[in-house]
Chain A
Amino acid sequence: MRVRVRVGDRVYEAEVTDLGGGRYRVEVGGQSIEVEISEEIAAPQLPRIARSAPITTPSIPPQVATQAQQPAPENAVVAPISGKVVRVLVKPGDVVEPSTVVLTLESMKMELEVRAGRKGRVREVLVKPGDSVRTGQPLVTLVPG
Chain B
Amino acid sequence: MVRKEIEILRKLREQAIRGDPAAIEKQHAKGKLTARERIELLVDPGTFVEFDMFVKHRATEFGMDKRVALGDGVVTGWGKINGRPAVVIAQDFTFMGGSLGEMHAAKIVKAMQYALEAGVPIVFLNDSGGARIQEGVDALKGYGEIFYMNVMASGVVPQIAAIMGPCAGGAVYSPALMDFVIMTKRTSFAFITGPRVVKAVTGEDVDEFSLGGAEVHATRSGVAHLVAEDDKHAIELIKTLLSYLPLNNAEDPPYIPTGDDPERRDPELDNVVPEDPAKVYDVHEVIERVFDTGTFFEIMPHFAPNAVIGFARLNGRSVCVVANNPAHLGGVLDIDSSDKIARFVMFCDSFNLPIITFVDTPGYLPGVAQEHGGIIRHGAKVLYAYSEATVPKLTVIMRKAYGGAYIAMGSKHLGADFVIAWPTAEIAVMGPEGAAEIIWRKELAQAKTPEERAELLKKFASEYREKFANPYVAASRGYVDVVIEPSETRPLLIKALEFFYTKREVRNIRIPKKHGIPPV
Contact = CB atoms under 8 A, between A and B. Distances in A.
A50 interface: yes
Interface residues of B, number: 56
A37 interface: no
B220 A60 contact: yes
Specify the main secondary structure of chain B where it touches its partner: loop
A109 interface: yes
Contact of A55 (B206, B218, B295): B218
B433 interface: yes
Interface of A: 6, 9, 11, 43-53, 55, 58-61, 66-67, 80-82, 106-113, 135
Contacts of A47: 82, 239-240, 243, 256
Contact of B280 (A6, A52, A110): A110
B279 A67 contact: no
Name the residue among A51, A80, A111 with the largest chain B CB count within 10 angstroms. Answer: A51
Interface in B272-301: 277-280, 294-295, 297-299, 301
A134 B349 CA distance: 38
Given A9-B502, A43-B257, A52-B301, A108 B239 contact: no
A50 B213 contact: no
Contacts of A51: 297-298
B339 interface: no
Contacts of B216: 58, 60
Interface of B: 82-83, 185, 206, 209-210, 213, 215-216, 218-220, 225-229, 233, 236-237, 239-240, 243, 254-258, 277-280, 294-295, 297-299, 301-302, 326-330, 332, 362-363, 365, 367-369, 373, 431, 433, 502, 504
A59 B277 CA distance: 36
Given A6-B502, A52-B301, A109-B362, 15 more contacts: A9-B502, A49-B295, A51-B298, A52-B228, A52-B302, A55-B215, A55-B302, A60-B215, A81-B329, A108-B329, A108-B332, A109-B278, A110-B280, A111-B280, A113-B280
Nearest 7 CB-CB pairings of A with B: A50-B236, A108-B362, A52-B226, A110-B330, A58-B215, A53-B227, A66-B369
Contacts of B228: 52-53
